Amino acid sequence: MKRVTTLLFGMLAGIGVALGAVNLNTASEAELDAIKGIGPGKAKAIVEYRDKNGPFKTVDDLGNVKGFGKKSIDKLRPELSVGAAAPAKKP
């Protein structure tokens, strides 16, 4: 019984982590700002970069945004995802 409980707990924890990741391609400035390590200025820079250059293909693409280096990206990686991109904005 203890093994079953441990297995269920592990599965639920994994689901929580997967659902908790913020998508760089669809998140608003407020959603990005809510992540520890991303303030309002960096959140705005992410959205502006995404609007100008299109969707992020990987979390590592965050390195192209001013203010993000390898160390900060590695710390943020568990909090971020790059699932399906938001639809393109009409001019």
Please determine, for residue 15, whether its predicted confidence score (pLDDT) is greater than 60: no
Q: Read off the pLDDT band of 2 (50, 70, 90).
A: low
Identify the structural domains of the chain with CATH numbers, from first to last. 22-81 (1.10.150.280)
50-79: pLDDT as tens digits: 999 999 999 999 999 999 999 999 999 999
Q: How far is CA 36 from CA 9, 12, 59, 72, 77, in A?
A: 25, 23, 16, 11, 12
17-43: pLDDT as tens digits: 445 799 999 999 999 999 999 999 999
- Average pLDDT score over the chain: 81
- How many Cα atoms are found within 13 Å in the side-chain-facing hemisphere of 70? 0
